[in-house]
Chains A and B, each alone.
Chain A
Amino acid sequence: MFLQQIANALALGAVYSLFAIGFTLIFGVLEVITLAHGAVFMMGAFAGLIAVTKFNAGLASTLLASMIVSGLAGYLIDLIAVGPLRKRKFHHLAPMIATIGCATIITSTYQGIFGAEAYRFPFDFVPSTSYDIGGIQLTLLQLIIIGISLFLMIVLIFFLNKTRWGKAVRAVAENPKTAALLGIPVEQVFRLTMSISSAFGGAAGVLTGLNFNTIHTFMGGPILHRGIAVIILGGMGDIRGAMAGGLILGFSEILSVAYISSDFRDAISFGLLFLILLVRPSGIFGKVIERKG
């Protein structure tokens, strides 16, 4: 029984990690907490749904479609709302409030178009075969989710460490002013980061839609809370933290549902968040927060 839960926890945790990675990357590079990340997640899920139901897309194309749509949304959010705030000196809460505005615009628009009902992927879009790996039963779907999440994370790590643009992103995350002096096009890096991170959010969206076979316009909210809990747990701006935190949350939720009660599953993330804020606000991998003069 417990072993079986591991499969569920891994699949859940993998998606949480994927979502949180984009979230934490935006914070690390742009120093903005985007509360629109849940909305782009939802956009990705719907993009995947439409790709499958209207265009009969296969898995790979569906994933691609989700990432492109969400990536584009992220680009636009930076272009219209977050970017202009960088040019002038604004209150430190302004970018966050702007992203709340974007989230509301996106969510309401989708609610107007798609309504409040739950949509499903076609039956057996992913065949419901399962495999026995080391005593644990993993469905094909779970394997795909874990596999794709891992793949995307590896690609991202490779990108950040081995490619020119990736190193540029890291340089800007370290210190935008220095990066600018070194000739790095900082504005473009910001846009790129928003796009990539949102694309990851969209991928998490379509994978979640597949995992629970439910897609609805309200799904951005719950994932956002969890994303916040994960990045604070793991350390804001730290990718390893996002991965570790995602897994921890996934396991915590599955175990609490299995052994305590399913009613309060949504409250687990807040519980973890609160605990970390009490004990170690910088998170697992975060640097200790210091004030400067």
Chain B
Amino acid sequence: MLKGENITKDFGGLRVLGDVSFEVKEGSIFGLIGPNGAGKTTVFNIISGLLKPTSGRVTFDGKDITNRPPYEITGYGISRTFQNIRVFREMTLLENVLVGMHRLFSYSTISMFFDLPKKRSEEKTLREKAFEILSIVRLTDKADLKAESLSYGEQRKLELARALATEPKLLLIDEPAAGMNPAETEELMEEIVHINGKGYTICLIEHDMKVVMGICSHIAVLNFGELIAEGSPDEIKANPEVIEAYLGKEEQSA
């Protein structure tokens, strides 16, 4: 479904990604892991159009989406969350989700000004839909609260809901378990599996190995911008280079 081919990214003299290739199969939960600074979020930024690769290609369902602007890529069916949570803090939860549903709205300025039936029916229908999405992440009771009043974990859920609202085929989730306790993480894993079950393909960046090994069907490992391994969870667990990459980092910080 999603293919990255020979993606390289340089920032000035610094090579952040070197010749990275991967494939995300439709319907799967794909894990992208690696030590901090390995370039994982950069991959997401390139896929979602926020960065241009120095060289290489990204294709989605056969279509070349390299260098396309972010809003266009969302239109093709790719959505994402951010590592450092970027919900719209001053807007309510419902409004956040409604923004996510941007693609589904189409009424014009005139419609808005004259309160034409098209505007009223779209607002009504899509608000109801937004409520449903909030119920998937169990946040309906806070729908009219400002996003900034939410706890950290709840904001993560909101971001997920908002990403789902764009009706994507592929969902890129960046470190959703960061800062969560074991109970929350367990809930998160269930939710992701549940979403995947509904037909959304998922590509996941995550540090928590329990999550990665628990729900991913396929994993790619990055280290220093290079792809060092790819395969099933069992294969990755046993891969000596992967162990080295992680252990090496641990030794440095020890």
Contact = CB atoms under 8 A, between A and B. Distances in A.
Direct contact of A and B (CB under 8 A): yes
Most chain A CB within a 10 A radius of its CB, from B45, B48, B82: B45
B52 interface: yes
A162 interface: no
A80 to B, nearest CB: 28
A263 interface: no
Nearest to B70: A291
B223 to A, nearest CB: 20
Nearest to B69: A291
Contacts of B70: 291
B43 to A, nearest CB: 10
Contacts of A293: 41, 44-45, 48, 50-51, 82
A175 B44 CA distance: 24
Interface string A274-293: 00000000000000001111
Interface size class of A (residues with CB under 8 A): under 10
A293 B70 CA distance: 11
Contacts of B48: 293
Interface in B7-53: 41, 44-45, 48, 50-52
A290 B50 CA distance: 8
Contacts of A290: 50-52
Contacts of B45: 292-293
Interface string B50-61: 111000000000
B88 to A, nearest CB: 14
B165 to A, nearest CB: 19
A24 to B, nearest CB: 19
Interface string A250-293: 00000000000000000000000000000000000000001111
A215 to B, nearest CB: 44
A292 B51 CA distance: 6
B82 to A, nearest CB: 6
A12 B64 CA distance: 50
A94 to B, nearest CB: 16
Nearest to A287: B12
Interface of B: 41, 44-45, 48, 50-52, 70, 82
5 contacts: A290-B50, A292-B51, A293-B41, A293-B44, A293-B48
Interface of A: 290-293
Given A290-B51, A291-B51, 12 more contacts: A290-B50, A291-B50, A291-B70, A292-B45, A292-B50, A293-B41, A293-B44, A293-B45, A293-B48, A293-B50, A293-B51, A293-B82
Closest 8 pairs (CB-CB, A-B): A293-B45, A293-B50, A291-B50, A290-B51, A292-B50, A293-B41, A293-B82, A293-B44
